[in-house]
Structure 1
Amino acid sequence: MSSSSEECERKYKGVRRRKWGKWVSEIRVPGTQERLWLGSYATAEAAAVAHDVAFYCLRGNSSPQNLNFQALQLPPGVYMGLSPRSVQRAASDAGLATDAHFVLHRPTS
């Protein structure tokens, strides 16, 4: 694997690339060894947004330096205290919306 592809794969926290090109995201649940699967996405940015939403839901806005996109705007307190399944749903919805945005605004050649 070349250093440029490794660098691309490590660009975002909680995101990795599958051999076949899909980007996946997961996060650890605080206080446990459990990992929460956040989904598979077409773009690294979508997987990173999913990770950021899950991070915010699980840990709040206390550590913005741990986000991939520090300017991510989420309403304060709205996502706090959700069940792991609800966190997965919120993260997946945000990731899929980001993927859709990138697909719709992809330059055509």
Structure 2
Amino acid sequence: MSRAEARGGEEEERCRYKGVRRRRWGKWVSEIRVPGTRERLWLGSYATPEAAAVAHDTAVYFLRGGFLGDGGASALNFPERAAAAYGAGSVAPLSPRSVQSVASDAGMAADAQLVAARESQLVPGEISVDDMEILM
């Protein structure tokens, strides 16, 4: 029996971003495993899946010390954003708690921007069903 069946047939919505999943009540959450350990690092819950993906990417970047060569960029959701935001050089890997803080801050900032952008597009009476699909 799968987990979805165990919960009464309820399925979690699939997310196209790495390290991101959706809670039953609609929030998007992100977590990552600390390399070389079994420890999971909680990165936060967000209103948008993109913000949770930004938090995940930030954690990947700083846990790996900025090294994204040899396929490391494939672990990212937005590799071009990471290169633009943090540069292509290597940095000293941060401690897991520092990574958690930096990633959470990046995700919250992205969430605030995305929510504000979506709200500014939602003018009452001027939105169609097609527009709603684009925003979601």
Q: TM-score range by the shorter chain?
A: 0.7 to 0.9
The 8 Å contact of residues 19 and 31 in structure 2, kept in 1 or not, is answered as yes
Higher RCO structure (Cα 8 Å, ≥6 apart): 1
1:83 is aligned to 95
| Letter paired with 2:116 | L
**TM-score calculated relative to the size of structure 2:** 0.70
The CA RMSD measured in Å over matched residues stands at 1.6
Q: C-alpha offsets along residues 30-77 of structure 1, whole Å, 9 cap, x if unaligned?
A: 001111000000000000000000000112323101100111221333
Deviation above 6 Å: which 4+ runs of structure 1? none
**TM-score calculated relative to the size of structure 1:** 0.87
| Letter paired with 1:95 | G
Q: C-alpha offsets along residues 59-104 of structure 1, whole Å, 9 cap, x if unaligned?
A: 23231011001112213334x3211111001100110010011122
List alignment gaps of at least 5 residues for structure 1.
Answer: none
Bigger CA radius of gyration: 2
Percent identity for Structure 1 against Structure 2: 62
2:17 is aligned to 12
Number of corresponding residues: 104
List alignment gaps of at least 5 residues for structure 2.
Answer: 1-9, 124-136
